[in-house]
Structure formats: C-alpha cells, structure tokens
Amino acid sequence: GEDVEQSLFLSVREGDSSVINCTYTDSSSTYLYWYKQEPGAGLQLLTYIFSNMDMKQDQRLTVLLNKKDKHLSLRIADTQTGDSAIYFCAEVLGYIPTFGRGTSLIVHP
Amino acid sequence: DGGITQSPKYLFRKEGQNVTLSCEQNLNHDAMYWYRQDPGQGLRLIYYSQIVNDFQKGDIAEGYSVSREKKESFPLTVTSAQKNPTAFYLCASTALQGGRYGYTFGSGTRLTVV
C-alpha cells in the first residue's frame, strides 16, 4: 500500500534555510501536519495546513501544499542548532493520523 | 495545565512477563492512540479508541492489549506474546479528529527487554 514518504536525513549549515519534503497519500486529506521530535521525547505539533490553502507562514516556518502532486514541504528559515530534531509529516486517513518515517535534520556550525 | 502523561518513562521487562504502560490525559479528548516507534521506522499504530469502552486494532496489534474504561485513561499491556517489545511507545489524543489543534502526544515510555 501507499505510505507517507519522507527522506530520512537532511544536513544544513547554521543560518541556512532547511526544506523538508513529504509526499502524502490521500488527495482528500483535510488537514496536514508537521511535528517535531527531540531525542527521547514525544512529538510536538509545529504547524498545520488546511487543504484549501497553498501556503501558510508562521514565523520562521513556511508550509507549501501542492494538492495535485500530494506534496507537502516545510521550510525553516535561518536554521539554528536548536532545530536539530526529527520532523514528521502526517495526514489523517479516516480517523487515523498516519505519519511518515521522519526526516532527521542535522544542523552544523 | 492540560496534557497527556505517560508512565513510567523507562520500563524493563523480563522474558515471559506482561507489562502495562500508563497513558492519562486531562484534555477531555475523546480519541486516544498508541504508537510504537523503532529507529528509522517512524510511528506504527498499535491500537486506537474513539470512545469509552470501544477500541480498534491498528497495524501491529499482535502481542498487545488495551482497555478504555475511562475517558481519561488508555493503558497498553505488552504481553509475553510480543516477541520483540523493545521500542519507544507513544500515546496520543485528540478532540476533533485532529483539526487545527492536531494530536497531542505524551513524552513516551521506553521499554527494554532484559
């Protein structure tokens, strides 16, 4: 079956922008989410986008949604070492939130 | 403050033992979920419950059991039938099937077989 797809790793230099990509499965998904997980912790909701939106900006975070291609991206501007974490995109299928495998973002000086 | 609490943070299980992981929320959420996380495999759904006294199997329910006797509580039992239980377990809840508030997660329980 189809899965929510994400690349596993992304390495960036501090101060650069990071772009994390995700391909989801259901074109009728109403809400799509980005979560952040720090080591040994639970998942923290970063932001969401509603399906009638193409873009959403929230401080350093920009979410882009391409419904035709079922593609979601998260851009983090001015990436800091504190942004190092695993980032998950998620869609809701029926009543079930379904997550990608997560992208490990590594920020180096 | 409202939130979702998982306990214990670390748990050690001997071969052949059953262990129970606690998940409690005071957010008045109807739906609760249990996920298992292994390195590089993301989150896999074990069980979920949308209302009290009702729950459904997820993708990897074998070797696990749950109960939902109270709205606030959704404990997960890892039975001796689960042959590879070492993992990080996450509990989540939601009020409105996600919506703009998404799903709230606990801080997780790390289970290790010794």
| Cross-chain CB nearest to A100 (options B33, B42, B50) | B42
How confident is the model at residue B71, as a pLDDT? Answer: 97
Arithmetic mean of pLDDT, B55-84: 96
Phi-psi domain of B100 (left: phi exceeds 0; alpha: psi -120 through 50; beta: other): alpha
Q: Is the pLDDT of residue A1 over 60?
A: no
**Mutate which: B35, B93, B105, vs A, most A CBs within 10 A:** B105
Residue B18 to residues A25, A108, B68, Cα–Cα distance (Å)? 36, 43, 18
**Residue B48 to residue A95, Cβ atoms within 8 A:** yes
| pLDDT tens per residue, range B90-106 | 999 998 777 888 999 99
Residue type, B55: F
pLDDT value, residue A99: 94
